[in-house]
Amino acid sequence: MKIPAFKDLILFENDDVIVVNKPPFVASVDERTGGELNMLRLAKKYWDDAQICHRLDKETSGALIFAKTPEAYRSVSMQFEHREVKKIYHAIIDGSHAFDNKLVDLPIANFGKGNVVIDKYEGKRAETTFNSIKFFKHFTLVECQPKTGRMHQIRIHLATQRASIVADEMYGGKYPMLSTFKRGYRLSKGEEEQPLIRRFALHAYEVSFKLLNGEEITVHAPYPKDFATFLKLLEKFDA
């Protein structure tokens, strides 16, 4: 996958911070395997002193904040620590689910290497509020607002509601195939059907935080092509 130039990903920039629209399949920071380009490396090529203020899963797209100065990094980091940063994600989930300010308050334990589980004894407090945005016959577009920032929080909290994110196999999601909901769908001889999206359908849609001057800003990240195309197909064939 060709990664756009960092400057083309920028949604907001001033003297202190940069907010970008992270593409899917790009890690936030160096992975254990190393070698691959990641958002932090790209940011440092653009701005030498760039520091990443939080992380998104490799497959997750959307709003990601970088600090350009140590003062800005401290400010944004403290806002995350004190849960003052408002984050809104959009997810496409399997099945029809009517969430109306549904609060999931289940502790999450992280045992390392992606081993994340709900654990009422070893887990740390984790809260997410869910609201359904749009209903399809076989899927639902959902707004997710995490109040805490645990690893895989939205993904595992949705799974506890039997509402796994599309294509999130780790938490019970299935890869969406057009043949399952488009009437009269036919493949050409020898053709193999491909999933409508190749990663779990989670997008960091919006982030709100305070700049160093005290001004609060809200930055909205448009859907990437794969997420937007999948939604258009659902609107056409699964409404």
Average pLDDT over residues 156-164: 98
pLDDT at 33 over 90: no
Catalytic annotation, pick one of 8, 15, 16, 57: 57
Residue 88: what pLDDT? 98
Residue for token pair 């160093």: 212
Chain centre distance of CA 136: 21
pLDDT in tens, 206-238: 999 999 999 999 999 999 999 999 999 999 999
Handedness of CA 22, 24, 29, 35 (dihedral sign): negative
Model confidence band, residue 1 (pLDDT cutoffs 50, 70, 90)? low
CB atoms inside a 10 Å sphere around CB 230: 20
Instruction: Supply the mean pLDDT for the chain.
Output: 95
The full 3-state SS of the chain, as one line of letters, equals CCCCCHHHHEEEECCCEEEEEECCCCECCCCCCCCCCEHHHHHHHHCCCCEECCCCCCCCEEEEEEECCHHHHHHHHHHHHCCCCEEEEEEEEECCCCCCCEEEECCEEECCCCCEEECCCCCECCEEEEEEEEECCCEEEEEEEECCCCCCHHHHHHHHCCCCECCCHHHCCCCCCHHHCCCCCCCCCCCCCCCCCCCCCEEEEEEEEECCCCCEEEEECCCCHHHHHHHHHHHHHCC
Q: What is the CATH number of the domain that holds 123?
A: 3.30.2350.10
For residue 226, being part of any structural domain is answered with yes
For residue 69, being part of any structural domain is answered with yes
For residue 33, being part of any structural domain is answered with yes
pTM, to two decimals: 0.94
pLDDT at 141 over 90: yes
Residue 35: what pLDDT? 59
Structural domain boundaries, residue 62: 6-237
Residue 105: what pLDDT? 97
Chain centre distance of CA 161: 18
Domain count, the chain: 1
For residue 200, being part of any structural domain is answered with yes
For residue 22, being part of any structural domain is answered with yes
Percent of the chain with pLDDT over 70: 98
Residue for token pair 């659902």: 234
For residue 1, being part of any structural domain is answered with no
Residue 90: what pLDDT? 98
Which whole-number Å values give the CA distances from 228 to 31, 121, 152, 208, in the listed order?
28, 40, 22, 23
Task: Examine the residue annotation and report whether 238 is marked as an active-site residue of this protein.
Answer: no
For residue 117, being part of any structural domain is answered with yes
Model confidence band, residue 189 (pLDDT cutoffs 50, 70, 90)? confident
Model confidence band, residue 188 (pLDDT cutoffs 50, 70, 90)? confident
For residue 101, being part of any structural domain is answered with yes
Looking only at the bridges linking them, the beta strands covering 127-135 and 17-22 are unpaired
